[in-house]
Structure 1
Amino acid sequence: MNAPLRRVGVVVMVLFGLLFANLNWIQAYKADEYRTSDYNGRVQVADYKRKRGNIEAGGTALATSKETTGKLKFQRTYPGGPKYAHVLGFKPVNLGETGIEDVEDDFLAGTSDQLIGDRLKDMFTGDDTGGGNVLLTLSKKAQDVAYDQLRNNEVGAKRGAAIAIDPRTGAVQALVSMPSFDPNPLASHDTNEATAAYNKLEKDPAEPLKNRALAETLPPGSTFKIVVAAAALENGITKTTPIPAGSSWTAPTSGTPIRNADPSICPGRQVTLLEAVTESCNTGFAQLGVRLGAETLKEKALQFGFEQEDLTVGHLGEGGLPTAASRTGDIQNPDGSTDQAALAQSSIGQNNVRMTPLEGAMIAGAIANNGSQMRPYLVRQWLAPDRTTSYYTAKGRELRQPVGPQVAADLREMMVSVVRNGTGKKAAISGYTVGGKTGTAQSAPDRPDHGWFIGFALDKNLNPVSAVCVMLEQAGPGGSGEAARIAGQIMKAAITDPGGR
């Protein structure tokens, strides 16, 4: 009898030991997670007890909080609806925050270390001072134009993106992804309604929740020729150097000829580099890329920002909206040697080359800014709840210098020629010097081509005022021309309303 009792006693002691260990583990390691969980009702009530700060641009509140009569005191609202959705994100009750609502959550909620003085004051007054206010760099006019023009594009594209930046500072002037979504239902205090709205968006095959301006990577087509041209200029080729061209060219080891978009484009045996950029000569750039070599092209793309995996867009310190890395892709045979056919295709922005719209705008911005590429950012300023104190003001910071001033000047001249004399005429703005490069990229044999445009605008003193990239996914014929037209409209709006710098 004693033996069975001893065994039971041992089992009970082991169970109590496990329970004790689990409780200590929860207190030591899991307490913060449970305490701050979005599913903790007490946390939710506390979170919504203090009025969340505004997110603003150009003096307009893009995200604000209104008082309610429910258990949760304040309701988050987004007056602009879908227009700013991919920048702002949303602040839900039971789901995780996204966008600026996420990356600036502590300051907006009033829990940031920066706002400890306000919280200490509340301890003595009994008040619940609201959260801090986050001011963005966006130009309201440029954002309006980008959103409206993408939605009403003239080629019927259903997906795309546009982003504009100030080349001198990196301040984002416009950021739109199409299709968009209304963040208001996602912030509903009716958690069933919010969850249903989120699930519907998540299951939508058009992926409206995806921020295509920062996270979509597609073949950039002829816009990548600017990177190739930069490499050429740094390797003994000038604007006026003749390069081989022709109506058709087949790379070594390839049985598939590369042709130009139209027989009238550079049909002669040679063209200058300036003419090749202006006319978007595929045969010229394919041969030029093979001449320069895979490593030279990959290195130049790297210097422009390809392959960067840690870039964020938000605050100039740590954190921000995540971005996808642009890639030059594989240009090798199985034995490690260069695949000449793949290199020829890569040189015209095909093969495995992939680029985000953000990267396209950064390339154009660096060329406009004398070769200096600035780090892109969205958050201009942090203001105290009472708006009397600024806790942070952005100051533009150089990210890298992919080309020197002379190469940048040559590239500007070639890109201006594209808009004045070539495929980018629809981007022209009266009274301003506009440069750019169109791109048409194959999507798949049974799908329409993507349309791209990257470009910049300079004022009468040739100072850069805006750089832009517009991408129309599966836009088909005329897609790159329509992207150029939209880009011109966005830059024109940014000229009249540059946003915060």
Structure 2
Amino acid sequence: MNKPIRAVSIFCMFLFLALMANVTYVQFVKSGSYNKDPRNARVAEASYSRERGQIMVGDEPVATSKPVDDRYKYLRVYPPAGARMFAPVTGYLQLGSQTGIERSQNAVLTGSDPQLFVTRLVDLLKGETAQGGNVVLTLDAAAQKAAFEGLRDTLGPEGEGSVVAIEPKTGKVLAMASYPSYDPNELASHDPAAASQAYKSLDADEQEPLLNRAIRTRLFPGSTFKLVTAAAAIESGKYHAGDQVPAGTTYQPPGTSHEIGNDGRGQCSPAKIEFATAMEWSCNTTFAHLAVDVGPEKMRAQAEAFGFNNTSLLDLQGQVASVYPTSVDVPDSEGGGTRELSLAETAQTGIGQNTVQSTPLQMAMVTAAIANQGTLMRPYLVDKVQTAGFNVLRTTEPETLNEHAVSAQTAGELTDLLVSTVADGTASPAAIDGVDVAGKTGTAQRGDSLCSAGGKPPYAWFVSFAPAQDAQVAVAVMIEEAPDRACGEIAGGQLGGPIAKAVMEAVLKK
């Protein structure tokens, strides 16, 4: 064999070996991941050829499948009465893609999960078409309704906000509402052109209805973060709920000429006031001073004990971590690198400003940990997995994230402060007759100018739990945009308090 022919033969042999290696890799190594990839059209079409399991809230389906006379055989349906209300949690099933619970629990819903192996085998032996399993959510239908309708009625068609409610002792998510929302039925259409157009329209909407604000929107938490500051101060041993704390009309932190004020609240003006008064009237000067006394390291440690700078929700993808700053970037002109927060910056974090940012889920977790005597539970949305015949295959066991986010004693002192804030302070809109409610308002400035001075309107927050001494529910309300409200009306107590009250009453069945 001459040299050119030998070279071509060797080259062809290498091509053949490469082809065999690629086929082996695709067919055996990567086959599992390809089969699970929601973009795989064959897998998507096969999944539509059998009845997908239901997503349920209590005994009622919030996502189900119905037979249709087309190539896909089954159409995903979201009952109209609750479609928009539950959409941020259920997500949607579109040809070739899923979101929300539809995505995270896809293996169960399609019937391919190993938990359903026996069920598939029985169906095979019977000659019946395999069905997907059901997913039962932790949501309380009444609480979800109160949360969603509260946001809608309070904020109007152009508003934006979110509510999260948690069962403190277990971590069950009882409500997760995001507003505005969308109708997932429009995206589940078997008409690819119609489904694509519906998605493009929603994706282009400036209000971002596809966004689950409960887990994906981070904002300055404002005065609701004072729960974390108070917890750090009490945990440090320097302060207790019955103590006098520093206050004053203004406070100038070390290292800055900038003064922190109290928005005209005269209750905060004396140099020293009761800790309860400081919480009841949300005295910025007090909590900025406490943060400086505690210091940036202990403030950060306390925030992280509650879950900041981490993620914890496993049942939905896309949760963003809430942030307590770990460092500050130093400009190259000053040597570059990073440094610890200054005391002036720490003072701002103590009132939920600077670069502190939180999701509604995170503030609900902080509130729930205090309500649960200092123990932080992992939040979860999937309560049970069932067969198509409603036999329970798995029930989620509550999981402790941090047994001592704060001590039981600190949690008790914080609870007393928050009860007095509802009884005698700014959180009174959440009061429920015959029930001790603990709560805290928050109004977070955005930008350098106040709303009253022509700046952007603030963010409004409200957190609460009830009953105070044996909490069944902890709530966080976030108001991102309320364009139908005047500048002076945008406040956590005024807007968020009634929503939180309605959610708590729904859970407590008051």
Common fold, TM-score beyond 0.5?
A: yes
- Following TM superposition, by how much is the alpha carbon of 1:323 offset from its aligned partner in structure 2, in angstroms? 2.2
2:446 counterpart of 1:450: no
Q: Secondary structure at 1:228's aligned position in 2?
A: helix
Matched, 1:210 2:211: yes
Q: 1:361, 1:468 within 8 Å by CA — same for their partners in 2?
A: yes
| Whole-Å separation in 2 of the counterparts to 1:285 and 1:187 | 49
How far did 1:128 drift?
Answer: 1.0
Whether the aligned pair in 2 keeps the contact of 1:93 and 1:187 (CA below 8 Å) is yes
**Which residue of structure 2 lines up, in the alignment, with residue 177 of structure 1?**
178
The equivalent residue for 2:117 is: 116
Partner of 1:303: 305
Match of 1:363? 366
- Name the structure 1 match of 2:451: none
Q: Which amino acid aligns with 1:424?
A: A
Q: Is the 8 A contact 1:49 1:128 kept in 2?
A: no
State the partner residue of 1:490: 503
What amino acid maps onto 1:479 in structure 2? A
Separation in 2, partners of 1:321, 1:24: 32
Deviation at 1:5, TM superposition (A): 5.3
Does residue 59 (structure 1) correspond to residue 71 (structure 2)? The answer is no
Matched with 2:437 is 434
Report how far residue 374 of structure 1 moved: 1.8
- Native 8 Å contact 1:326 1:355 kept in 2: yes
Q: What is the deviation of 1:43?
A: 2.7
Secondary structure in 2 aligned to 1:184? Answer: helix
Write the letter of the residue equivalent to 1:284. T
In the alignment, the residues of structure 1 paired with residue 157 and residue 34 of structure 2 have an alpha-carbon distance, to the nearest angstrom, of 48
Counterpart in the other structure of 2:195: 194
Q: Give the counterpart letter for 1:456 in structure 2.
A: F
- Spell out, residue by residue over 1:298-335, the C-alpha distance to the aligned partner (whole angstroms, 9 max, x if none): 111111111123x1243xxxxx4442211111565847
Look up the equivalent residue of 2:491 and give its one-letter code.
Answer: G
Moved more, 154-163 or 424-433: 154-163
Aligned to 2:452: none
Distance 1:269 1:429, change over 3 A: same
Preserved CA contact (<8 Å) 2:276 2:421: no
Deviation, structure 1 residue 2:
6.1
User: Residues 338, 9 of structure 1: CA spacing in aligned structure 2 closer, same or farther, 3 A cutoff?
Assistant: closer
Q: Which residue of 2 aligns with 1:416?
A: 419
**Residue 291 to residue 157, structure 1, CA distance change in 2 (3 Å):** farther
- Structure 1 letter corresponding to 2:462: F
Cα distance in 2, alignment partners of residues 366 and 212 from structure 1:
21
CA–CA distance in structure 1, aligned partners of residues 153 and 227 of structure 2: 29
Q: CA separation of 1:366/1:129 partners in 2, compared to 1, >3 Å: closer, same or farther?
A: same
- What amino acid sits opposite 1:107 in the alignment? V
Separation in structure 2 between the aligned mates of residue 75 and residue 330 of structure 1, nearest angstrom: 48
Provide the residue aligned with 1:317 in structure 2: none
For residues 26-58 of structure 1, what are the alpha-carbon distances to aligned partners after superposition, in whole Å with 9 as ceiling and x for unaligned? 334344455555455543332122211111112
Q: Percent identity?
A: 39
- The equivalences for 1:38-437 within 5 A come to 38=38, 40-79=40-79, 80-95=82-97, 97-153=98-154, 158-234=159-235, 235-309=237-311, 311-314=312-315, 320-330=316-326, 334=330, 336=339, 338-387=341-390, 389-400=391-402, 401-437=404-440
* CA distance in 2: counterparts of 1:393 and 1:332, whole angstroms: 44
Contact kept in structure 1, 2:166 and 2:173, CA below 8 Å:
yes
Which of 473, 491, 496 is the aligned partner of 2:480? 473
Deviation at 1:6, TM superposition (A): 5.4
CA–CA separation in structure 2 for the residues paired with 1:104 and 1:304: 27
| Partners of 1:331 and 1:343 within 8 A in 2 | no
Length-normalised TM-score, structure 1: 0.91
TM superposition shift of 1:7 = 5.6
Question: Could you tell me whether the CA contact under 8 Å between 1:333 and 1:339 is conserved in 2?
Answer: no
1:202 shift after superposition: 2.3
Provide the C-alpha distance between the structure 1 equivalents of 2:155 and 2:46, rounded to a whole number of angstroms. 49
With 102-111 and 199-208 compared, the bigger mean Cα shift is at 199-208
- Paired with 1:425 and 1:155, the residues of 2 have a C-alpha distance of 23
Are the equivalent residues in 2 in contact too, given 1:132–1:382 (CA < 8 A)? yes
Q: What's the RMSD between the two structures over aligned residues?
A: 2.2
Indicate if the aligned counterparts of 2:155 and 2:481 stay in contact, CA closer than 8 A: no
**SS of residue in 1 equivalent to 2:460:** strand
Alignment partner of 2:184: what SS?
coil
- SS of the equivalent of 1:152 reads helix
Q: 1:256 to 1:47 in 2, by over 3 A?
A: same
Q: Which moved more, 1:292-301 or 1:17-26?
A: 17-26
Structure 2 CA distance for aligned equivalents of residues 341 and 39 of structure 1: 50
Within 2, Cα distance between the matches of 1:444 and 1:202?
Answer: 27
Whether the 8 Å contact between 2:228 and 2:302 is mirrored in structure 1 is yes
C-alpha distance in structure 2 between counterparts of 1:32 and 1:168, whole Å: 38
C-alpha distance in structure 1 between counterparts of 2:114 and 2:17, whole Å:
39
